Amino acid sequence: MLYSGSCHCGKLIASFETRKTPQELGVRTCQCDFCRRHGAVNISDPYGAVVIDAAERDAHRYRFALRTADFLICKECGVYIAAVIGAGEAIRSTINVAGLRMKEFLGIEEQPMRYGAEDAAARVDRRHEKWTPTRFTDPTLAKSFFGPHP
Ligand SMILES: [Zn+2]
């Protein structure tokens, strides 16, 4: 199945392809302060595919705490749509179905997640294992967002 959504103003668009139903896949609510402030509800499927359709000028990258991922926020409307890790052909993301208003994934029982005990290496490993292979329609966005992390 292919699902799609966008930020509030429509400049950042994401599609998500998976063989699982929304119920089979489940939705997660990371309990970190950033995610709770945004009311984020996230999904990922390591066997699925995400395409993020956005121009580099419309997306802001936010990094915090361990600085091991880029949180993509619309510069126009402020909605957080996805967290992204990796580079080149090995980009992975988890997408925020609440921010993207992917209605098929809303109203499902949420699974609260706490990742605060992880160190940076464990966090990166988990994301590469669990997050969704991701492609950007704007290659400059992928390039500028996913250089070496400081
Ligand atoms: Zn927007």
Domains of the chain (ranges; CATH) run 2-145 (2.170.150.70)
Residue 150 reports pLDDT greater than 50: no
CA distance 16 to 51: 7
Residue 146's pLDDT band (cuts 50, 70, 90): low
Ligand 1 centroid distance, CA of 63 (Å): 19
Angle at Cα 121 formed by Cα 150 and Cα 148, nearest 5°?
25
pTM surpassing 0.85?
A: yes
Ligand 1 centroid distance, CA of 10 (Å): 5
Strands (DSSP E) along 31-126, which ranges? 42-43, 49-53, 59-62, 70-74, 80-85, 92-96, 110-113
Residue 96 reports pLDDT greater than 90: yes
Ligand 1 centroid distance, CA of 77 (Å): 4
Ligand 1 centroid distance, CA of 81 (Å): 9
Residue 89 reports pLDDT greater than 90: no
- Tell me the one-letter amino acid at 50: V
**What is the predicted pLDDT for the residue at 68?**
81
